[in-house]
């Protein structure tokens, strides 16, 4: 496959910045998702350029969609955790009480 042109790299960078802003994510989040060595945008672009070189625009789109899906699952999971703790305000106290009782029994 071919590599990204300078213009394509600039467009990808602008897209990533908008995407991260709208998703409420940071370059550090993207670095973790890409397993990149740095949060610097040129490094992130290089990683994605490697994806483009191997799989073309379809591979690049698939990778970004997979990251978006993973982030959405994380948000859903965190939302479920917050909902369960807010629906049972004494849940944490119950856990603490059980732990204290088990410590005093043993």
User: pLDDT tens, position by position, for the chain (106 residues)?
Assistant: 689 999 999 999 999 999 999 999 999 999 999 999 999 999 999 999 999 999 999 999 999 999 999 999 988 776 655 655 556 666 666 677 777 777 777 6
> Whole-model pTM?
0.70
Q: Are 39 and 28 in contact (CB under 8 A)?
A: yes
Residue listed under structure tokens 């990251």? 67
Q: Are 54 and 1 in contact (CB under 8 A)?
A: yes
- Please return the burial class of 23, using the count of CB atoms within 10 Å of its CB with bins 0-12, 13-18 and 19+: middle
């Amino acid at each position: 496959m071919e590599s990204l042109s300078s213009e394509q790299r600039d467009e990808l960078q602008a897209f990533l910045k908008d995407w991260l802003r709208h998703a409420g994510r940071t370059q550090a989040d993207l670095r973790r998702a890409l397993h990149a060595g740095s949060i610097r945008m040129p490094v992130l672009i290089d990683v994605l350029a490697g994806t483009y070189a191997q799989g073309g625009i379809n591979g690049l789109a698939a990778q970004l969609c997979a990251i978006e899906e993973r982030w959405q699952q994380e948000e859903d999971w965190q939302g479920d955790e917050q909902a369960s703790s807010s629906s049972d305000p004494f849940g944490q106290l119950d856990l603490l009480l059980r732990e204290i009782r088990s410590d005093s029994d043993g």
